[in-house]
Structure 1
């Protein structure tokens, strides 16, 4: 059930036990972890604003935030965990790889800290069982929730998607965050009698699906289409 998928609004809670799964294959990444502290991290671009607040060099330039064994730090698009006994590190680099399906789950940012991407990991209470969600549906849901969260918290509606090399691949404008999609799931219809419009054939209520959606405008930043 998608209700068990923890979104950016439904973060892990302290003193509860959770299991981290690979979203692609369902393999257990972190088993039965109880957090004493679950804390939000500053914006990823917070250091760019320090100069506006300080009249001297950035006092936090060399400061880093690393979770302890029982901590979970929440970023805009990732979770930071103490690596503990988990071992998913690729020998070639700092990428964190699923042992079963070899999907990249995140990266090791320090010897004791792992960053898991929200688009690659599902978090569920330990008493719940893993329920697979189609990959495309899951990624779309997480990206949409991330855009809504960021636009609400930071009053911005323009975003860019960057690669590990800092290159911008796509520009996104959030146009609408309260769209409702209605889809007929079958060919079953019933007849409705309206005093104004006469007989109207409408889809049966049991055959209609509804989804919340966001409306975006995007511009790929590809050399062949957009050199700048």
Structure 2
């Protein structure tokens, strides 16, 4: 994919665990480096440049150590790199994914994320259970002296159940589904094991779409069972009112935060850091390597930037005052699984049991690809690659 976005004027990454940060100012906005100053304020970081002042709001407990800012490099085409030291009294907690919010004996409604229409009404779960994941079948075969008793058998929800996959919900179908969901005709379902081991090539399953907008939400894995992907639906409790602002939330931001939160959960609970983003057919689409989840990032040209051009007191020139907030983010390495490109790396990852498969609809895989490449193109050139991999940030 061609890079269509320009490097941000200002890029800031703060590492909470390392208590350090990197600030990069693009060459054409820096001017004279001696006129650039960085100072700390009340839960903020102020970056003063010749024609602009940027105030970065920081989360509670994160402050700049005054006088710690030092120049690392200043090259044409790359910009001015500055290192900062931080004092971190309180680490920012990563928000949990939707998987953590679903509980028993509470009423939930499932909505299409793209149009906001409810597709499943008032589900009260008596059991919320995780499905076996990763290379579970392979481990059973390697470590158990008896044959796998679950081989060629589906793990399907009973009435009142919600089964949680890595990227989807398995839910029993009811009569209301026919009014809100449409099922595309597809091949006859075969009786295959329904753990999450994507190394076994799954059978093709009919897709389930929203009747209101036609968006693909998941698949019909059995006559009475639905698979709904967490990237395609939002989950609301019964007492939550319809919020048009939430419904109209950027598809890109929702997708970015949903996947980032899930990566953090899998890394912290199961010590998984390498992921193969795959289509339902089992084809690898993107290889993802989670580097860290303690970053706070801010950029001058992010959508959060706001402000007007003002005349600062004592300034003879027109100085723009802008502000933005530093957002929690994960830093990832990624590799697009394009034909005839990096085939050796792709083959090695496919054979490695330490790589965890994550299955999403093909259109969603393409959206994730656009998210990652857009993030990469906004970074300073020297930060865009690491060996054969590209670098990106995903907000939490």
Q: Give the TM-score, by structure 1 length.
A: 0.84
Aligned partner of 2:185 in structure 1 is: 92
Aligned partner of 1:194 in structure 2 is: none
SS in 1 for 2:115: coil
Kindly tell me: are residues 203 and 49 of structure 1, through their superposed partners in 2, closer, same or farther at Cα, counting changes over 3 Å? farther
Aligned partner of 2:158 in structure 1 is: 68
Aligned partner of 2:142 in structure 1 is: 52
Q: Residue 149 of structure 1: CA displacement?
A: 1.3
Aligned partner of 1:186 in structure 2 is: 306
- Does 2:296 align with 1:176? no
In structure 2, C-alpha distance between the alignment counterparts of 1:226 and 1:203, rounded to whole Å = 45
In structure 2, C-alpha distance between the alignment counterparts of 1:38 and 1:134, rounded to whole Å = 29
SS in 2 for 1:10: helix
Q: Residue 172 of structure 1: CA displacement?
A: 1.0
Match for residue 107 of structure 1 among 209, 219, 231: 219
Aligned partner of 2:283 in structure 1 is: 167
In structure 2, C-alpha distance between the alignment counterparts of 1:29 and 1:6, rounded to whole Å = 23
Number of residue-to-residue matches in the alignment: 213
Aligned partner of 2:124 in structure 1 is: 34
Aligned partner of 1:136 in structure 2 is: 252
Q: Residue 187 of structure 1: CA displacement?
A: 3.6
Which structure 1 segments of 5+ residues have no match?
Answer: 192-200
SS in 2 for 1:177: strand
Q: Give the TM-score, by structure 2 length.
A: 0.50
Higher relative contact order (CA 8 A, sep 6+): 2
**Which segment is superposed worse, 22-31 or 146-155?**
146-155
SS in 2 for 1:123: strand
In structure 2, C-alpha distance between the alignment counterparts of 1:143 and 1:221, rounded to whole Å = 18
Q: Deviations over 1:131-159 (max 9, x none)?
A: 22210001111111111111122212111
Aligned partner of 2:264 in structure 1 is: 148
Kindly tell me: are residues 83 and 217 of structure 1, through their superposed partners in 2, closer, same or farther at Cα, counting changes over 3 Å? same
In structure 1, C-alpha distance between the alignment counterparts of 2:129 and 2:297, rounded to whole Å = 34
**Which segment is superposed worse, 94-103 or 129-138?**
129-138
Aligned partner of 1:118 in structure 2 is: 230
**Which segment is superposed worse, 22-31 or 155-164?**
155-164
Kindly tell me: are residues 135 and 84 of structure 1, through their superposed partners in 2, closer, same or farther at Cα, counting changes over 3 Å? same
**Higher helix fraction (1 or 2):** 2
Q: Residue 75 of structure 1: CA displacement?
A: 1.2
Q: Residue 45 of structure 1: CA displacement?
A: 2.8
